[in-house]
Amino acid sequence: MVNKSATAQWLYLTSQSMTVFRTQASLGKLPSVHIVAHQAVEDPLLHPAAHVDWVKKHLKGNINLLLADSLYQLLLSDVPEVPEDEIESAIEFKAADLIHYDIEEAALDVIQLPDEAYRGRMKMAFIIATQKKPLREWSMALIQKGIRIDVIDVEHTQLRNLTVHLQNYSETGLFHLENARGRLVLNFSGEMVLSRTFDSGLSTLITENTIQEDELEITQSDDAQDDIQLETLVLEMRRSFDYYESQLGLGSIAEVHLLCLPEHAELSTKLAHKLGMRFSPITLSDFMQFTSADELIDPNQMLALAGTAFRETV
């Protein structure tokens, strides 16, 4: 269950930026994500000493560290049939063959898929892998400033959390449509069982041409090109839904929620028509507050953070 009185401070790292934000879930109030500060920097995960003072300006005490998906690997592996107390070491052995650095340098977390997945023929798990050294260096740099990392989390689990909050059925998905890509997360009974990333994003699905008429420049949508790109995306998504049904054996996806900029929410209607399923846009203001302390920071450009407001605590 989500702790209804939980407040948390977060540092979000991508390959090109850092963001500080806060989440709150209080009885009688909408859960909230409030962006405190944002800075464009190159590879902040690798250079904690250069950025820790900026973090100190905006945070104190205990924080959560959130990694963008470019900073870790999400790997699918079978779970060996070994005694429960040996599963961790067995999965480490599996991970050693899937990562490009020494297993001793890896920080690993494991998300086991539900028993129903793959029709019960085998046990499978997602392995989240990243390198220990940058995390350790960030932790030490922050401790010297009086800040301690409580939790290290990743984007995929936050998309899963948002999907769980929105789900009306056991077989539910979320499609996060960004400028240069789309990310599909499919859940079963509240657990992520499939994740796919597509090259199709808003920049390819919605294209515009500028034409000159006398002294006027007129921007028009390139509908023919948009239709081609949309058909390509639909084909890839349909393959994912077929895999969910036939290989994972979890039935048909009942609904998919579209997370994208509000001005492009109409894409959900096109996707619903072409895929023949319930496809609905997410309006965050219906169930949470998503705000920014700086008017120059557009929360709509950071929609992947929304799931942190619903992070399950133990």
80 inside domain: yes
Residue 32, domain extent: 6-310
Query: Half-sphere exposure (CA, 13 Å, Cβ side) for 112?
Result: 12
* Cα(207)–Cα(225) distance, integer angstroms: 7
What pairs with residue 111 in β-bridges?
A: 126
Q: Domain holding 168: CATH number?
A: 3.30.420.380
The reported pTM is: 0.90
53 inside domain: yes
Work out how many domains the chain is built from and give that number. 1
49 inside domain: yes
SS3 97: coil
Q: What is the CA radius of gyration of the chain?
A: 21
pLDDT in tens, the chain (314 residues): 444 458 999 999 999 999 999 999 877 789 999 999 999 999 999 999 999 999 999 999 999 999 999 999 999 999 988 898 888 889 989 999 999 999 999 999 999 999 999 988 888 999 999 999 999 999 999 999 999 999 999 999 999 999 999 999 999 999 999 999 999 999 999 999 999 999 999 988 886 444 445 555 444 455 556 688 899 999 999 999 999 999 999 999 999 999 999 999 999 999 999 999 999 999 999 999 999 998 878 888 899 999 999 986 43
Which ranges of the chain would DSSP assign to H, the alpha helix?
Answer: 48-58, 87-96, 132-143, 155-166, 202-205, 223-246, 267-275
* Cα(248)–Cα(253) distance, integer angstroms: 12
* Cα(12)–Cα(15) distance, integer angstroms: 10
The per-residue DSSP string of 118-129 comes to GGGSS-EEEEEE
**285 and 301 in contact (C-beta within 8 Å)?**
no
1 inside domain: no
**292 and 299 in contact (C-beta within 8 Å)?**
yes
**Helix pair angle (267-275, 223-246), 10° resolution:** 50
